[in-house]
Structure 1
Amino acid sequence: MANVPPTIFSAQRRNAARRRIGTLQARPNAARFVLDDMIDDVIERLAFVMHEPKRALVIGDWSGRLATILGERGAQVVRADPAPSSGEERVEEERPLPFSGFDFIASLGTLDTVNDLPGALIHIRNALEPGGLAIASFAGAGSLPVLRGAMLAADGNRPAARLHPMVDVRAGAQLLQRANWADPVVDGHPLKVRYSRLQNLAEDLRAQGLGNVLASTAPPLGKAQLRLAEQAFIAQADSEGRVTETFEILTLSGRRR
């Protein structure tokens, strides 16, 4: 019998969070710095390896910016998402992709919330043509340390599952080996953002589809717990009263043999 991965994330909650992005991004000054950082990084990597895509698949870019850039460079681009909006195809990353033959695939900000990550990486590899390149970026281990500390302070001696388990560089390398990606490269870099209030961080997470989509639902924080969380958060403030939070961006890249 095949091993069935544990259900850590809820597909329903995940898709609902992704569908909300469009509404939240319509608000003034909506945060999109995580996706923008990933897109900029993909463009830099393509230039470094001198790869000019001709037929590309872009998964998870709700802004459409990467598809536009690749299209302007002459690529035929298919946009896809687990919860597609207008102009996007639907993909379920834990199943074989409904199309293939791409010389480039970018997956942005989605693979950190699949239950079968090795399987998803295999499906991406299989959708590439031989020699095709894939780049997958998502939030990795080391992300949101201040928020994690604030949630622990709020829950006291009975901590609840409120933040996602995350993949680190070492585990990412092992995953690429299991998925049989050729020329695998795994690295990470920090993205640091300053906040004056915990609520502002929470709003930025929601606006970018980075909120809690765990299958197990934690009890909501009461008013007293919220005060404790805010106090723990502000305790990390600098002399200007601002707290620096970290988003660790993990990137996996490789080719199909």
Structure 2
Amino acid sequence: MDSPEIFDRAARRLRRDRAAPSYAEHDFLRAAMLDGIAERLDSVNRRFERVLEVGCFDGAFVPPPGSALTRIDAGCLFAEQAGGIQADEDGLPVAPESFDLVVSAGVLDSVNDVPGALAQMRRALVPDGLFLAAFVGGTSLPTLRASFLQAEAERPAARFHPMIDVRSAGDLLVRAGFALPVADGETLSVRYPDLFRLIGDLRGMAATNVLKGRVPLDRRTLGAAATAFAERADPDGRTAERFDLIFLTGWAPSPDQPKPARRGSATTSLAATLGRKD
């Protein structure tokens, strides 16, 4: 039985189309993700010839030299502008074992079927192909969440997406069938003059609420949240907000990969290695 979807696919596509024309003015989170992915890619001594980018946005990702790049995005305008294909991340129109590198930055936090999307990306890789991804997760936006909780104390509405933390991200890699899975995180702090500048960034990066059954935001609630946000400001009048970036690394299984030692197979005890005397 399929799990119920929590995100409105049509609304998500529309938000991405709305953000496309001016996305470069609000791309700082994805830029940080791409920097992290580039650092991880630089540490791999491998030539990649066929690369798939899932969630291409404005096409800022630079593939390895000499590689052929296929871009996919859920938004029609992003896909069109980047010369890519329009498709949802959990419905990839690619053949199995078609790529030796799959990259995804900034989209997995709002995908309905994250395990399915990861499994499809793993199947798209050739044996020993590399998967690198990043998305917003953890306990991101604590100040914004607290401000709206204060503004709607009597009847809180579902305005924020559920977040995936580092531990759960690692479990999802294992569940999707990746070998040598690694999940780690970085934190960015951004200081805003007011709530509206933060909301402007979220809209500009297509990161506003697309939950199914979401409640419209009225002026009274917005005003109360803005006041609560301002109350949390530093002495200079700016309020800090935190974004947790989750990075994923995994490999498509291959017989040539190193395997963890079988439990109990060690021939030397830890005590002997450390030189401990009983």
Give TM-score scaled by structure 1 length: 0.92
Root-mean-square deviation (Å): 1.5
Q: Deviations over 1:186-236 (max 9, x none)?
A: 01111111101100000000111111111122132233x222211111111
Q: 1:185 is aligned with what amino acid?
A: V
Q: Deviations over 1:62-89 (max 9, x none)?
A: 23121xx325x11111111112223111
Q: Distance in 1 between matches of 2:169 and 2:14?
A: 27
Q: Distance in 1 between matches of 2:73 and 2:57?
A: 8
Q: Distance in 1 between matches of 2:211 and 2:46?
A: 36
Which of 40, 45, 63 is 1:70 aligned to? 63
Instruction: Give 5+ residue unaligned stretches, structure 2.
Output: 254-278
* 2:246 aligned residue: 250
SS at match of 1:70: coil
State the identity %. Answer: 39
SS at match of 1:63: coil
Q: Distance in 1 between matches of 2:198 and 2:238?
A: 12
* 1:232 aligned residue: 228
* 1:88 aligned residue: 84
Indicate yes or no: 2:105 matched with 1:108: yes
* Contact 2:89/2:111 (<8 A) preserved: yes
* 2:15 aligned residue: 17
Q: Distance in 2 between matches of 1:65 and 1:154?
A: 37
* 2:147 aligned residue: 150
Q: Deviations over 1:129-176 (max 9, x none)?
A: 110001121110211000101111111221000010110111111111
Q: Distance in 1 between matches of 2:183 and 2:105?
A: 15
Q: Distance in 2 between matches of 1:23 and 1:65?
A: 14
Q: 1:170 is aligned with what amino acid?
A: R
Q: 1:203 is aligned with what amino acid?
A: G
* Contact 1:97/1:127 (<8 A) preserved: no
Q: Distance in 2 between matches of 1:191 and 1:106?
A: 21
Indicate yes or no: 2:48 matched with 1:50: no
* Contact 2:55/2:89 (<8 A) preserved: no
SS at match of 2:163: coil
Which of 35, 38, 43 is 1:40 aligned to? 35
**Number of residue pairs matched?**
248
Higher relative contact order (CA 8 A, sep 6+): 1
* Contact 1:21/1:209 (<8 A) preserved: yes
* Contact 1:5/1:115 (<8 A) preserved: no
* Contact 2:23/2:58 (<8 A) preserved: no
Gap change, CA 1:232 and 1:133, over 3 Å in 2: same
Q: Following superposition of structure 1 onto structure 2, how do residues 115-194 of structure 1 map, counting pairs within 5 Å?
A: 115-194=112-191
- How far the C-alpha of 1:47 sits from its partner, in A, is 0.9
- How far the C-alpha of 1:96 sits from its partner, in A, is 4.5
Larger radius of gyration: 2
* Contact 1:91/1:98 (<8 A) preserved: no
* Contact 1:195/1:245 (<8 A) preserved: yes
SS at match of 1:65: coil
